[in-house]
Chains A and B, each alone.
Chain A
Amino acid sequence: MRLGLHNSVLSAALAALGCGVYANEVPVEQWHLGVNIGYGVMTNPLHGGDDVHLYVVPDVAYYTDTWYLDNNQLGYTFVNQDEHVLSAITEINPETRFFVDWHPSSVFALQQIDSSAPLIAEGPARVRVDDLDKRHWALDAGFEYHYFTSIGQFQAKALADVSDVYRGWRAQASWRWGYRFEQWVLEPNIGVNYSSREQNDYFYGLSREETGGYGAIVVGSSVQPYAKIDVSYLVDEHNALRMHLGYIDYHSQAKASPLFKESSSLTLFIGVKHLF
């Protein structure tokens, strides 16, 4: 679909929404402030972890020619070409999101877990989640690379903990498309996350103290495939209907960690996006 002056409003709205590869731009040195209002939920795969309810999801970005702040990520772009963009980035580690409302009083059996670290226990070993140490928020820093093509954009990033919380690193590779048909915008995204041994052990492993002396449970490194799709219907220059569906696979960690009750997490959000 070719954009003309008569539908420049659509173009601007699309650009502002950040949807679609054809209009995925924001003006520099100008705040992009939007908010998604509706209802959504991200299921928590952990024992005793509350699902994360989503009512208001802000969308905040500010770009200069080099620096940018975009939804939880601060970056400095030192290569910005038509096809290749390379940035130094820092962002909050997202793994802690499952531990924010982690307040169960239930117990779970360590025996049910296929852990690589054998437990030396004669009876069912049980862990009170209440007794586990708090998982702290971590700040990561690293590099992110984008490769833009006519059929989508490839993204890869690698970050390490710079806050001395889990003392490991993580990586991500993904492919993102953008399809637009009249007012509809579809944006599928598939990718894979890599978690280092240190990250997995900190968040999903158990120390000897936490197991009550049964021995530490290590999870080891793992990969988590994921798939997401974002669907928007552009109503006017400032408003759009929006649906998001996401799936993250935690099969590897769930096999090794007794904290998991599910081997995946689903995110669903339905609502409206308003651009200020």
Chain B
Amino acid sequence: MMSLAATAVIGSAVIMTAMPALANELLEISPQYCVVENKEQACTTQVNIRWTLPQAIPVCLLENNRTLGCWPAQQQGVWQYKAEVQLPAIYSLTHAHTGELVVDTQLELQTLRSSRRRLRSVWSFF
């Protein structure tokens, strides 16, 4: 059996803007993809996040629903950390006071080896 410890990352910074509240907001995440052996495996990788906002507002950065940090009003920000996260993971910036979503992006899953859900049990015949 292949080693199952393999985790790799693909892609440089890719910009995905998603939200409507503010125009021209940017949330960059690198890598964009995390490659794991199978879908159940968590992704462990260094994640670099940068954001640029059209105006200075206090924001919080969330990984799925977990808050990674909050910052006072500023137009730009950078965050680096070692993520260990089940994919796909959504990273989002929310307004620190109102909780309103500002922008989000996604760390996507790539599997090394494709697999299929098994449809039958060994005990089906009995």
A interface residue numbers (CB < 8 A to B):
2-5, 8-9, 11-12, 14-15, 18, 22-28, 34, 36, 42, 52, 54, 57-59, 61, 63, 65, 68, 70-73, 75, 77, 80, 85, 87, 92, 94, 97, 144, 146, 148, 155, 176, 187, 189, 228, 230, 237, 244, 246, 267
Contact = CB atoms under 8 A, between A and B. Distances in A.
Interface residues of B, number: 27
A61 B115 contact: no
Nearest to B116: A63
Given A5-B41, A8-B4, A12-B38, A25 B119 contact: no
A68 B119 contact: yes
A11 B4 contact: yes
Contacts of A8: 4-5, 37, 41
B114 interface: yes
B17 interface: no
B40 A18 contact: no
Contacts of B40: 3, 11, 14-15, 22-23, 25
Interface string B101-117: 00000000000011111
A72 B122 CA distance: 9
Contacts of B41: 3-5, 8, 11
- Interface of chain A, main secondary structure: strand
Contacts of B86: 2-3
A72 to B, nearest CB: 5
A68 to B, nearest CB: 7
B52 interface: no
Contact of B125 (A9, A85, A94, A230): A94
Contacts of A77: 119
B125 A27 contact: no
B62 interface: no
A12 B4 contact: yes
B50 interface: no
A4 B124 contact: no
Contacts of A65: 114, 116
